[in-house]
Amino acid sequence: MKAKWQIVMLSAVLAVILSAPVMGADTIKLGGLYNLTGGMSSIDAPALNGAKLQAKLINEAGGVLGKNLEVIGIDTKTDQKAAATGAKKALAMGVVAGLGYGDTTFVMAAAPLFQKKGVPFVTSGATHPMLPKWVGDYMFMVPFGDDDQSFAIAEYTVNKLGAKKVAVWTDNSMDFTKALSKFYKQRITELGGTIVLEDFFMMGDKDFSAQIARLKNADPAPEAVFVSAIPNEAGLTVKQIREAGLTLPIVSGDGFDTELVTTVPGDKLANDVYFSTHTYREDNRPEVLAFVKAYEKEYNRPPENAFAALGFDAVGLIADAIKRANSTDGKALRDALAATKGFKAVTGEISYTRPSGVPMKGVSIISVKNGKYKVEEVWYPKN
Amino acid sequence: MKRIPLHQIWYFVFVLSGAVFVFIARSTFNEYILSIINFVGIYIILAVSLNITNGFTGLFSLGHPGFMAIGGYMTSVLTFPVAKKAMFLELPGWLSHLALPFLPALLIGGVCASLTAFVIGVPVLRLRGHYLAVATLGFLIIVQVLITNWESVTRGPLGMNGLPALTHLWWVYAWVVITLYVSWKIKFSSYGRSMLAIREDPLAAQCVGTRLFRTRVVSLALGAFFAGIAGGLWAHLVTAITPASFSLVLAFHIVVMVVVGGSGSISGAFVAAVLFSTITELFRPLEESLDAYGIGEILMALILILILIYRPTGIFGTREPGFLTAKST
């Protein structure tokens, strides 16, 4: 009994001691809200690493406004409640801007609190095109919107692959995959194509034989299949479609931007796959090469995915705005962010010229042929 | 002159010091700490109310977050400003022009959760033990699937956002006091005694004239009412509500609080709720300075294991601390 109380007391004392903030005297604080544990951690943890790396590089080059930049990583545990408290915590610590998340759900729990306090929030990876409208004028997006990536691959399907009759598979369990399919179908029909078959599956499905059977028997026969999936299902669907002897092109969005597309089916079967994604993979612009090199040096491994680069860009974007505003005041910083034009980010140039608040950004179309990734073209939105 | 019993003085002291605490907290702490205190309060409501179902009557229910979700969504739909309703939701006419104040919306949310408990309780409570746990788990999944797919009212997996931030500490405090009061009154009434009797030995309880089935349904519905209220408070504290928030993980968190506190002990549920909802926050600074995220969770699990090894009946067992109970009992 006594020993147990000692443990309890010890941990309590430890907690109190460590609660005392160990802050540098004069830093510009940014709140990095990410789900570092739980289901979203494979996407969010690299993003925070990217963000911290950018801050480190900026500090080594002299900092911003003569001060060091500090990214305070706050783990929100893939839990909306923790996202809301995390945001309040960051605001109470006096951050000048917030950044974070690869998923819209969590942005919507945190960002409105920043909006209310007049502190800008930059999401590094959430792609819902309505986000800035839902949250308000202090909300900024680093990535393109889901509509842009769907339009890009839809135009590629019709114009370059020459497929006008397409089948659409949708993961019906996620908002992101549903939105992707919606915009894809919209643009295909606008371009004079037809959706000959629509099929659904759920996140975590392992067997796609029913969908494949319907795909084989569809009449008229589809000339391409759009698979709206996240990484887990990306590799599996490619493998099973190809194993069934179907050779039609498989197209998708940034959910396919993963090694699983080639490792799960193997190089032979990973063929004739096309997807739209952030301009980062297989890209050799100097920003990309420098980022990959710095990341490898800092963490002893290559960047896990595009979200690492997006986190890196989020901090870069904020630092750039602080410099131009010459201030860390919320209003001035917001105005500077909104005026961002041609910011050279790792994931492409960012300009906020649209009324929707979604950046005008290039979208890479990447092909996979016999297990090799190649950038086919970079698509730019027209307005 | 009749002397006021000592334990009643203690109740008075607790309620008053709670109020003083709320008053001081609201004027000194920042919003982050306030929101943690709010969540602690909500967890107290959840644990103490589950204790009525799970602790007193011994119905092992995993459906608590399901009732929370019903209450939370109901309250959110009712308080959502009319202008935003037109933009985000497709509701039937009369509902789309309705925006209620917080209190009636909360009460309606709680009552809806309670009614649902009656409806599902009638078939489900014919089951015992593990079977009941699985059935309530099924209920939780049905609720989640329903709100995920009923997009015109709930906005599906994206959830409802931008709810008015109506929950503040006084609301939470008032509901904590009400939950504790109701729960205490039940426990030390003959009705509560029959609940405890049902938990210990249903057959013997039935022999002395306890109406088994009715008492079980009532205890489920009563727990559900407070879960619904907690859901409403939760939604207007986070200002967003998604189906994923009311998961099995949350169900386990609340069950753990009841078990660790001691099944049937109100003070136990209270203490465990405070302990388990603050401990992960206490370790945040450590996690952030060491870049080692997840320490809080590991420690929480460790404490849970230690308590179950050294005190398998929970911190308090079924009892309440002596100074809080009347001497005659």
From the list B241, B239, B243, B258, the residue with the least C-alpha distance to B304 is: B258
SS3 of B23, please?
A: helix
b/e burial code for range B46-77 (CB count within 10 A of at least 16 → b): bbbbbbbbbbbbbbbbbbbbbbbbbbbbbbbb
DSSP per-residue codes, A90-153: HHHTT-SEEEE-SSHHHHHHHHHHHHHHT--EEESS---TTHHHHH-TTEEESSPPHHHHHHHH
Closest Cβ opposite residue A84 in set B35, B282, B303: B35
Terminal CA-to-CA distance of chain B, rounded, Å?
23
Average pLDDT value for residue range A165-172: 92
Strands A372-379 and A363-369: antiparallel
CB contact under 8 A, B234 and A91: no
Average pLDDT value for residue range B234-251: 88
Whether B54 and B132 have beta carbons less than 8 Å apart is answered as no
Peptide bond into B81 cis (omega under 30): no
Chain A residue with CA closest to B155: the answer is A175
Q: Is A14 exposed, middle or buried (CB count within 10 Å of its CB: 0-12, 13-18, 19+)?
A: middle
Average pLDDT taken over every residue of chain A: 88
Query: CA dist A328 to A29, A30, A321, A344, Å?
Result: 10, 11, 9, 21
From the list A147, A165, A201, A196, the residue with the least C-alpha distance to A357 is: A147
Strands B160-161 and B240-241: antiparallel
CB contact under 8 A, B293 and A37: yes
Q: pLDDT tier at B329 (50, 70, 90 boundaries)?
A: very low
At A29, the amino acid letter reads K
CB contact under 8 A, A109 and B238: yes
Q: pLDDT tier at B278 (50, 70, 90 boundaries)?
A: confident
Interface residue of A6, A85, A104 to substitute, partner B, most B CBs within 10 Å: A85
ipTM of the complex: 0.76
From the list A152, A163, A221, A171, the residue with the least C-alpha distance to A192 is: A163
Q: pLDDT tier at B240 (50, 70, 90 boundaries)?
A: confident
Chain B residue with CA closest to A86: the answer is B32
Between CA A14 and CA A227 the distance in angstroms is: 51
Average pLDDT value for residue range B37-63: 92
From the list B268, B301, B247, B274, the residue with the least C-alpha distance to B51 is: B268
b/e burial code for range A184-200 (CB count within 10 A of at least 16 → b): bbebbeeeebebbbebb
Q: What is the DSSP letter of A65?
A: T
CB contact under 8 A, B240 and A18: no
φ and ψ at A184, to 5 degrees? -65, -50
The maximal CA–CA distance of chain B, rounded, in angstroms, is: 64
Residues B166, B171, B172, B178, CA torsion sign: negative
Q: Which two tokens stand for residue A31?
A: 């709140």
Residue A21: what pLDDT? 43
Contacts of B242 in chain A (CB under 8 A): 80, 105
Average pLDDT taken over every residue of chain B: 87
A130 touches chain B (CB under 8 A): no
Q: pLDDT tier at A8 (50, 70, 90 boundaries)?
A: low
Q: Which two tokens stand for residue B53?
A: 């179902």
Residue A7 clears pLDDT 70, i.e. is over it:
no
Query: CA dist A360 to A143, A191, A280, A366, Å?
Result: 9, 22, 16, 19
Q: Which two tokens stand for residue B250?
A: 């949350």
Average pLDDT value for residue range A145-163: 93
Q: What is the DSSP letter of B312?
A: T
CB-based contacts of A245, cutoff 8 Å, min separation 6? none
Between CA B20 and CA B8 the distance in angstroms is: 18
Q: Where are the alpha helices (DSSP H) in A23-79?
A: 41-60
Residue A19: what pLDDT? 47
CB contact under 8 A, A74 and B284: yes
CB contact under 8 A, B156 and A175: yes
Compute the C-alpha angle B35/B39/B45, nearest 5°: 145
Average pLDDT value for residue range B51-74: 92
Residue A122 clears pLDDT 80, i.e. is over it:
yes
Q: pLDDT tier at B221 (50, 70, 90 boundaries)?
A: very high
Closest Cβ opposite residue A74 in set B234, B286, B288: B288
Residue A39: what pLDDT? 75
CB contact under 8 A, A15 and B286: yes
Q: For chain B, what are the domain ranges? A: 36-246
Contacts of B34 in chain A (CB under 8 A): 88
Percent of chain B with pLDDT over 90: 37
B59–chain A nearest CA distance, Å: 28
CB-based contacts of A11, cutoff 8 Å, min separation 6? B299
Average pLDDT value for residue range A40-69: 92
Residue B100 clears pLDDT 80, i.e. is over it:
yes
DSSP per-residue codes, A190-235: HTT-EEEEEEEE-TT----HHHHHHHHH-SSPPSEEEEE--HHHHH
Chain B residue with CA closest to A48: the answer is B291
Chain B residue with CA closest to A94: the answer is B30
B39 touches chain A (CB under 8 A): yes
CB contact under 8 A, B244 and A80: yes
Q: What is the pTM of this model?
A: 0.81
B129 touches chain A (CB under 8 A): no
Q: pLDDT tier at A152 (50, 70, 90 boundaries)?
A: very high
Reported as a single tens digit per residue, the pLDDT across A290-339 is 999 999 999 999 998 889 999 999 999 999 999 999 999 999 999 999 99
A75 touches chain B (CB under 8 A): yes
Residue B263: what pLDDT? 85
CB contact under 8 A, A75 and B32: no
Domains along chain A with CATH numbers: 25-145+284-361 (3.40.50.2300), 147-273+364-379 (3.40.50.2300)
CB contact under 8 A, A175 and B30: no
CB-based contacts of B249, cutoff 8 Å, min separation 6? none
At A247, the amino acid letter reads T
Chain B residue with CA closest to A174: the answer is B157
CB contact under 8 A, B237 and A134: no
Q: Where are the alpha helices (DSSP H) in chain B?
A: 6-28, 31-50, 64-79, 82-88, 93-96, 102-124, 129-149, 151-154, 169-187, 190-200, 202-207, 212-238, 248-261, 266-282, 284-290, 295-310
Pick the range with the lowest mean pLDDT from A54-63, A232-241, B78-87, B113-122: B78-87
Average pLDDT value for residue range B291-310: 83
CB contact under 8 A, B310 and A4: yes
B28 touches chain A (CB under 8 A): no
- CB A9: neighbour CB atoms within 10 A? 10
Residue A78 clears pLDDT 90, i.e. is over it:
no
Residue A51: what pLDDT? 95
A244 touches chain B (CB under 8 A): no
B291 touches chain A (CB under 8 A): yes
Chain B residue with CA closest to A72: the answer is B288
φ and ψ at B79, to 5 degrees? -95, -10
- CB B11: neighbour CB atoms within 10 A? 14
Q: Quick one: which H or E segment has residue A85?
A: helix A80-92
Between CA B139 and CA B135 the distance in angstroms is: 6
CB contact under 8 A, A15 and B35: no
Pick the range with the lowest mean pLDDT from A15-19, A195-199, A366-370: A15-19
* pLDDT greater at residue B134 or residue A23: B134
Residue A17 clears pLDDT 80, i.e. is over it:
no
Query: CA dist B64 to A115, A274, A300, B49, B248, Å?
Result: 33, 45, 45, 9, 9
Between CA A240 and CA A248 the distance in angstroms is: 13
Interface residue of B73, B141, B158, B297 to substitute, partner A, most A CBs within 10 Å: B158
B156 touches chain A (CB under 8 A): yes
Terminal CA-to-CA distance of chain A, rounded, Å?
70
Q: What is the DSSP letter of A353?
A: -
Residue B328: what pLDDT? 53
Q: pLDDT tier at B137 (50, 70, 90 boundaries)?
A: very high
